[in-house]
Amino acid sequence: MLETLTKNLPESLVRVLTTPMDPDDYLELVNPLWSRHEIRARVADVVRETDEAVTLRLEPNRNWPGHRAGQHVQIGIEIDGVRQQRTFTVSAAPHEPLTLTIKRNGPGGVSDHVVRRLEPGTLVWLSEPAGEFHMPASVPDKLLMIAGGSGITPIRSMLTDLYRQGWQGDARLLYCNQNADATIFRRELEQLAADWPALKLDQLHADAGELLTPERLAQTVPDFAQRSAYLCGPGGLMQVVEDFYAQQGLEDRLHLERFQAPERGAPGEGGRVRFAASGGEAVGSGAESVLELAESRGLQPKHGCRMGICHTCTCRLESGRLRNLHNGEVFEAQGQPVRICVHAPEGEVELEL
Amino acid sequence: MSMPVELTDEQIEQLGHEIDAIREEVMNDLGQEDADYIRRIVRVQRSCEAGGRALLMAGILPPAWLAGTSLLSLSKILENMEIGHNVMHGQWDWMRDPKLHSANYEWDTASPAEEWKHSHNFVHHTFTNIVGRDRDVGYGILRMAPDQPWKPVYLAQPLYNWALAGLFQWGVALHDLEFERIGKSKSLREAGSQSLRILRKARKQVAKDYVVFPLLGGPMAPLILAGNINANFVRNLWAYMIIFCGHFTEDAEMFTEDVLENESRGHWYLRQILGSSNLEGGKLMHIMSGNLSHQIEHHLFPDMPSNRYAEVKPRIQEICQRYGIHYNTGRLSRQFGTVMKRVARLALPGGKKGSTGMEAAEPASAESDQRGAELPAAA
């Protein structure tokens, strides 16, 4: 009620009373989910899918606009006091309660925390959903979905959505995993394929020697060339399928979604900084701070102490990784403010400057 | 560089490494407990503010008025000192919470964050206590070091420094304008646009506390207005006391610009220690002062989360003892007493240049009990 009230009052009046704070700063005293603009959600449930994957059921506040099947969202999770942002695909169809399905990607990272330690009740922050990996307005009659591992998440969302709409086309799903136990949504998808004549499911298990090769693809789905293909999975799998489609001259039939980040160089060797606003770029050896590199390009970024204490030179890191010149620590903080006087670029870096 | 300690450059370099190591250790240890600490402080502060403003609406009852204005004073002190000042230093940037990030935070006082971050984080913290560079030395209106040339107006500083105390937030806001630079190294145009930003912020602050909230109270308006004026006044006085104790106690050293020549990180640390003074007290005292009671630790590590200064303090004290560096600390009453003494002494002409100017007042102060320990061998 308080939330509705403040949302409907004119912005200027509420702000006069709360200045210089945001009205949200007081609303959240009552309920941490309450916010006039931010999308926040509570983790209502953590459901184990496999040894390495869980599904988070989220209860977002009213600012969640809804998503299209196949889209992804950035989630902010606080781990050891630090807000970590990662992008995950929404595994739910638009009519279902919001879920993200997350597979553990090695030890120590955000996915490791989510899969092993995240508790129901945790507050998380969400971005607006985004991404072009979704069905067109008029759904093709013949589909081929190819998924590997957690790459099933957007495809599960799309298929569930099509099923609910009563779509009566012809869909094939090739789903590649290590083995049956490591297969996310295995029972659910088997059930869906049994209940719904429009879907035929084929599962390939690497442990049984069933790797997806061009031959196997052509053999399993002989009419692949007539189908609109949707591909999401690990880099190796995607490469095989992409190369095959390119070779067949069918690139425009293939829609894909990548999870993997691009390759990185060795640490401490510097890199190239692009200055987004001013358009220039500079290459550092790893010894020069981003501030020095910017100045070497004739830019004059705002700065103060040049020793990391005053935070005057803080500006936004658009993408890439930086190395702290004091302690050598390398970090990635997309969209975060950073002090450019004490950080050197580590590989390809883009700043808002 | 001339410093009132007898240490070789090698020893000072070694000192720098020791202090760097402490910083490294604490910064690597930051985690959930620290995040929970600042969030708890923020929750307490916002609740005090909401509660205080609500009680003032019932201000016709004297206990409600008193409780209301007390809670609001408490809220403003917490917000300005333990939250605002420290967040704007970047102490909580590591959390990557946009609401607690130095780049975004705006505090509940007349001075706009952008202006303040420049004059405080950069000018004051980089050039601490260097006469002619650190504009916080006397704020352009008080003579706090013998190296500031005496003018007759300073005769009145024991009086007008109380006006500064009562109107401290306005003093801080105007301070950012750097009057002495206008028309010289600061263009009129720059000063003009800065004045506009300060006016815009000040207008919002005044509108909230002195117009809109009183009007919302209808017939209660005069009582709410009085409560809000009182809360701002209490915060002003308290902030003034704490801040003056940070650098103007009688033993706090002042420096001249020549110290900046080839100043190493070790020298910089040494200057921060010698130019700052601490306050002893309990946990509440530390929180209420925004942990500026640990002024020495704050000046060594301006962007270390304030809740960590208490654990760092004994380690810095131990280092100071080992290197024979005076660690300036004492109870609020004592430290503030010596500040008043300094304000009075330097109102008069004289005072030995390149010193605190307080020698005549207390000759013993040069030989503190914490000095005289054996110097460590040069590394």
Task: Give the domain ranges of chain A.
Answer: 38-126, 142-257, 271-351
Whether A333 has its CB under 8 Å from any CB of chain B: the answer is yes
Is the CB of A16 less than 8 angstroms away from the CB of B212?
A: yes
Q: B11: distance to nearest CA of chain A, Å?
A: 21
H/E stretch holding A87 reads strand A82-89
**Per-residue confidence at A265, pLDDT binned at 50, 70, 90?**
very low
pLDDT at A267: 62
State how far the Cα of B224 lies from the Cα of B55, in Å rounded to an integer.
9
pLDDT band with cut points at 50, 70 and 90 for residue B4: confident
CA-nearest residue to B300 within chain A is: A309
For residue A160, the model assigns a pLDDT of 98
pLDDT of residue B352: 81
Q: What is the pLDDT of residues A266-276, one digit of tens each?
A: 567 789 999 98
3-state secondary structure of A163: helix
pLDDT at B153 over 60: yes
CB A232, CB A158: distance < 8 Å: no
pLDDT of residue A269: 79
Instruction: Give B76-128 pLDDT, tens digit per residue.
Output: 999 999 999 999 999 999 998 989 999 899 999 999 999 999 999 999 999 99
The helix/strand/coil state of A273 is strand
Burial classification of residue A121, based on how many CB atoms lie within 10 Å of its CB (0-12 exposed, 13-18 middle, 19 or more buried): exposed
Look up the ipTM and state it: 0.88
Sorted by sequence, the CB contacts under 8 Å of residue B228 that are 6+ apart come out as: B56, B69, B72, B209, B210, B213, B214
Mutate to test the interface with B, among A35, A310, A316, A334 (most CBs of B within 10 A): A310
Question: How close is the nearest chain A Cα to the Cα of B183, in Å?
Answer: 22
Task: Quote the CA–CA distance of B47 and B52 in Å, as a whole number.
Answer: 8
B124 contacts B117 by C-beta, under 8 angstroms: no
CA distances from A225 to A209, A231, A247, A255, A301 (A): 25, 14, 12, 13, 54
Class of CATH domain A38-126: mainly beta
Q: Is the pLDDT of residue A312 over 70?
A: yes
The whole-number pLDDT of residue B270 equals: 97
Residues A304-307: contacts with CB within 8 Å, 24+ apart? A304/B118, A304/B121, A304/B122, A304/B123, A304/B126, A305/A341, A305/B121, A305/B122, A305/B125, A305/B126, A306/A341, A307/A341, A307/A342, A307/B126, A307/B265, A307/B268
Where do we find the tokens 């050039």? Answer: B127
Sequence-distant (6+) residues with CB within 8 A of A145 are A155, A158, A159, A171, A172, A173, A174, A229, A230, A231
Among residues 277-306 of chain A, which lie with CB inside 8 Å of chain B? Answer: 304-305
CA pair distance B290, B339, nearest whole angstrom: 19
Among the residue ranges A111-125, B144-158, B344-358, the one predicted with the least confidence is B344-358
Out of A21, A82, A307, closest to residue B95 by CB: A82
Give the integer Cα–Cα distance in Å for B101 and B119. Answer: 18
B377 CB contacts (<8 Å, ≥6 apart)? none
- Residue A35 DSSP symbol: -
Lookup: tokens for B313 = 């303090």
| pLDDT, position B251 | 94
Signed CA dihedral, A26, A28, A31, A34: sign only: positive
pLDDT band at residue B359 using 50, 70 and 90 as cut-offs? low
Contacts of B36 in chain A (CB under 8 A): 81
Strand partners, A230: A145, A255
> Looking at A287-291, B25-29, B269-273, which range is the least confident one?
A287-291
Tokens of A127: 């971005």
pLDDT class for B364, splitting at 50, 70, 90? very low
Q: What is the largest CA-CA distance in chain A?
A: 69
Cα A323 from Cα B126, distance rounded (Å): 23
Asked whether the predicted pLDDT for residue A122 surpasses 80, the reply is: yes
> What is the rounded average pLDDT of the residues A104-114?
88
Give the CATH H-level superfamily of domain A271-351. Beta-grasp domain (3.10.20.30)
pLDDT value at residue B37 = 98
Lowest mean pLDDT among A285-299, B6-20, B222-236: A285-299
pLDDT in tens, A164-198: 999 999 999 999 999 999 999 999 999 999 999 99
B281 conformational bin, left if phi > 0, alpha if psi -120 to 50, beta if neither:
left
Cβ within 8 Å, pair B96-A20:
no
pLDDT of residue B186: 87
Cis amide leading into A20 (omega within 30): yes
Higher pLDDT, A286 or A7: A286
How far is the C-alpha of A270 from the C-alpha of A273, rounded, in Å?
Answer: 9
What is the average pLDDT across B234-263? 96
Domain boundaries, chain B: 9-366
Please choose, from the candidates B46, B59, B71, B49, the residue with its C-alpha nearest in 3D space to the C-alpha of residue B224. B59
pLDDT band, residue A8 (cuts 50/70/90): low
Instruction: Compute the average pLDDT of residues B232-238.
Output: 98
Per-residue pLDDT, B281: 97
Highest mean predicted confidence (pLDDT) among A79-88, A281-290, B290-299:
B290-299
- For B95, the closest chain A residue by CA position comes to A82
Structurally, at CATH architecture level, domain A142-257 sits in 3-Layer(aba) Sandwich (3.40)
